[in-house]
Amino acid sequence: MWNGKHGYISFHYKLFISYFLLVIIPIAVLGSYSYVSSINALKQHTRNNLEVAISQINNNVQYRADDVIRVSNEIYADQLLSQYLAGYYLDWERYQVTTQYVLPRMDTVTHLPKLNVSMTLYLNTHTISEYYYDEIEKSLVAGERYYEIRYTDRIKDEPWYQDSLKLPFNGIAWEQVGTDAQYGLISLLRPLINYDTLQPNGLIRIRVKLSDLFEEVKVNQLGSGTKLFILNDQQKMLYANVSDSDVEKNGFADILKDKKGYLRITKTMNNLPSSLVALIPVASFTENSQKVRNITILICLVSFVILTLISLIVANMLSKRILKLKLSLKAFKEGEFHRRIYYRGKDEFAEIADSFNDMASTTQKLIDEVYISKLEKKEAELQILHAQINPHFLYNTFSSISRMAKLGEIELLHEIIRALAKFYRLTLNKGEMLIPVEKELQIIDAYLAIQNMKCDNRIHVTLDVEEGLERYETVKFILQPFVENVLEHAWYDDEIHIGIRVYRSEGAICMEVSDNGLGMKQETIDAIFSQGPDAVGYGIRNVDQRIKLHYGREYGVTLTSEVGVGTTASLKLPYIVFGKKQEEQ
């Protein structure tokens, strides 16, 4: 609460206002960001799906167009047919060539594709008699396949024929010529080549219904209200899935220009001078965005109410504790605290700071005593941590000795007991916690000797120690937990290889224990160094804590591992010659 006296504002009031701002600002920002991100992701996902569907439709149409092109290839590449069409024959020979090869060949070719097509060969020469039907377009519309032979004299004045003469040697053109537009057809035009002279001998014209060619243009998978158009290279509509009355009523150009109401996706057809244009109503894929908006608002409101209530509760709890702390500090003005509080403001904390700082002069006298007490506490913690390691190994070793005794392996039992005695003689070390690197390596050597006796010498060890590092200082008994972990958790094959390396690195001593065992995931490594109830790897964490307690938090243990390859444990220690500290002290 605010009090007009000296501008005093209670800590409870400040705390609640702070919590309120901390609640409402992130909720507003995160809510807005989540809504915008969700809408954009939804739109992008929908657009991607639509583009895939339209690409599939486009591919299906192009496949049908390729089918018609393959029909033209049969005629275009038939050199024997080219010779027959360009030759000179008497009446009877002409009849035989026409009836026995030319017409049967055309009949075969027109029945190759799945689509109903009609074929017309326009010839520059009159060596083959004309063969044609009246109103062939109506027959094609009715679903029949026809072929005919005509002379180019009949179409020489047609503009489309004059344009076809400009086609390259192997050129192809798709156009609506003659009465094609009237009957809903489209023609494939291609030069007919005389392979003896390599000159054009006429024109191949294959007609197909637009509805057959674009049969795969369906909008079921694109959503209701979708409009699909096939436009030629002059942007003239060849085909549409909307009714003629709809196009006539709304205007084709107006429909294409409606950018607000529709999402437009265009795909160019590679083998047709056309493009597929899809207009998908924006409303069809923004319906879900309204649900996202409503859910976002609801979540924000619920979160705001809950967090506001929590803020009130926390503010009340903290303000009560601060009040109790203020009274306690006044009562213990001559107390044991050894730190000062610097705070600017006019609230409970300012009063706490004044009261606390009055006691500062007396606490200075206790610094030495407190410092020694902390050192003793730290040393006790080190002793406790170290004691927790040794019984674990001793228990495991005695279990192995018991098993050997039962099996009557006297020689092996004798050797393992001698190795165990050596191991504990080195480990105890008159109670000293710090030893030279050389002794730590002797400890691990004795430990591995014991383990190899138990495992029939299936443990292979590689030792690599940089010269001169044996006389440097290390915390005692820090390598054994890592070797034990290798044997207990990483060993999966008949044999295991363990590498122990000691070297200088960036002004420090680094000890590495590596193996070629199972390895572990990053989640397991994180769990080893965690402090929660689900933490694992007590021995590793214990070594890390001991190193940090002795030398500081910049030193300790790091783990790297790859599943199926192995694990490497790196122990970083300061660069200190053994015994130098004691001499200085």
Secondary structure (3-state) at 442:
helix
- Residue 179 in contact with residue 166, Cβ under 8 Å? no
- Residue 167 in contact with residue 190, Cβ under 8 Å? yes
- Residue 132 in contact with residue 148, Cβ under 8 Å? yes
Q: What is the pLDDT of residue 256?
A: 60
- In sequence order, what DSSP letters do the residues of 22-63 get, joined into one string? HHHHHHHHHHHHHHHHHHHHHHHHHHHHHHHHHHHHHHHHHH
* Positions of the chain with pLDDT under 70: 1-13, 15-16, 88-90, 134-143, 216-225, 241-261, 284-290, 315, 317-394, 396, 429-431, 532-535, 580-585
**Single-letter residue type at 411:** E
Q: What is the pLDDT of residue 528?
A: 86
Q: What is the pLDDT of residue 436?
A: 93
What the block records as the tokens of 27 is 């909720």
Q: Domains in the chain, start-ordered, CATH in brackets?
A: 220-284 (no CATH), 368-584 (3.30.565.10)
The whole-model pTM stands at 0.44
Q: What is the pLDDT of residue 530?
A: 82
pLDDT in tens, 16-38: 677 777 777 877 787 777 777 77
Q: What is the pLDDT of residue 213?
A: 80
Angle between helices 367-407 and 410-428 (to 10 degrees): 180
Direct distance between the N- and C-terminal alpha carbons of the chain, in angstroms, rounded to an integer: 57
| Residue 53: partners with Cβ closer than 8 Å, 6 or more residues away | 221, 222
380-411 per-residue burial string, b: 16 or more CB within 10 A, e: under 16: eebeeebeebeeebeeebeebbeebeeeeeee
pLDDT in tens, 303-354: 778 877 887 777 676 666 566 556 556 545 555 555 566 666 666 656 666 6
- Residue 211 in contact with residue 184, Cβ under 8 Å? yes
